[in-house]
Amino acid sequence: MLGPKGQPLKREYAAAETGGELQQAEMTRGYEVATGKYVTVSDEELERLAPEKSRDIDLRLFVKNEEISPIYFERAYVLTPADKSGKAYRLLAAIMERKERVGIATFVMHGKEYLVAIFARDGILRAETLRFADEVRTPHAVGLPKKTKVQAAAVRKFDRMMAKATKKTIDPKEMRDEYSEAMMKLIEKKSAHDKDVVETEAETPRKPAKVVDLMEVLKQSLKEGKKSRRAA
C-alpha cells in the first residue's frame, strides 16, 4: 500500500474506543473464550510453549498413498538433495514410489511445528504440509444442505455434459491464474509507458535465508528409527 505521494505505508495499532495509537509495550495478546471475554497470554508464556528450534525431521511412520486425503493438504514443497546426497535421495524416492508409501513427519519452521506428508513421484520427493485434524471443518460445520434424491433425468443430463468435457489428461497450461496474468500485463504496460510509476528509497537487501538440508535430516531420522527398533 502506498500513500498519496507514493510513499510506503506502515501498519499501526489503535484502540477501538479512543483511536489513539498504541505502542508495543502497551499491547498484549488475548484469546476470545466467549463474546467479549478474553484470556490474555504473555509473550514469555508463548515462548515457553513454542517447540524447540531444530533441523530434524521427526519421521513418525509410513502409510499407503490412499490413506492421505487431499482435504488435509495445505502447501507443497519440493525436496532437493544437498551436495553428495543425490544417490541417497534417488534411492529413497524410488523405494517409496515402488512401495506406494507416504512418510508422515513433523518439523519446526519459524517457531511453529508442522505436520508434513512426504510423497515420491517420478523420482522426486515432495513435502506437503498438512492441516491438523482439528483444523478440518466437517460438512455439517460449513452448513451444507442434507442429501436429497436427484431426478434421473437431471443425472442423465449432467452425465452427457460431463462426457463432452472429459479428457484423459490435463494440460498444465490450462491451470492458469488468468486474473494474475491480466494484472501483470496491466503493470507491464504501465511500466513500459512510465504511467502511474512512483519511486521510493531502496530498502536494505535482506540476508539470504539459511538453507536446511531436509534430505539429510530425513536420512538421520530414519537411522534413529532403526536404532530404536533394534533396541526394542
Task: Decide if 164 is inside a domain.
Answer: no
Task: Decide if 4 is inside a domain.
Answer: no
Cα distance between residue 185 and residue 158, in whole Å:
37
pTM of the model: 0.51
Task: Decide if 53 is inside a domain.
Answer: no
Do 117 and 104 contact (CB within 8 A), yes or no?
A: yes
Alpha helices (H) in the chain, listed in sequence order: 43-49, 86-99, 152-165, 178-192, 214-231
Domain that holds residue 90: 58-138+210-221+223-227
- Which CATH number is 124's domain given? 2.40.290.10
Q: How far apart are the first and last CA of the chain?
A: 58
Per-residue pLDDT of the chain (232 residues; tens, 9 = 90+): 888 878 888 888 888 778 788 888 888 888 888 888 888 888 888 777 777 766 566 777 888 888 888 888 888 888 888 777 788 888 888 988 898 899 888 877 777 788 889 999 888 888 888 888 888 888 778 888 888 888 899 899 989 988 888 888 877 777 777 778 888 888 888 888 887 777 766 555 566 555 556 666 666 666 666 665 555 5
Task: Decide if 80 is inside a domain.
Answer: yes
Cα distance between residue 216 and residue 113, in whole Å:
19
Task: Decide if 203 is inside a domain.
Answer: no
Number of domains into which the chain is organized: 1
Task: Decide if 192 is inside a domain.
Answer: no
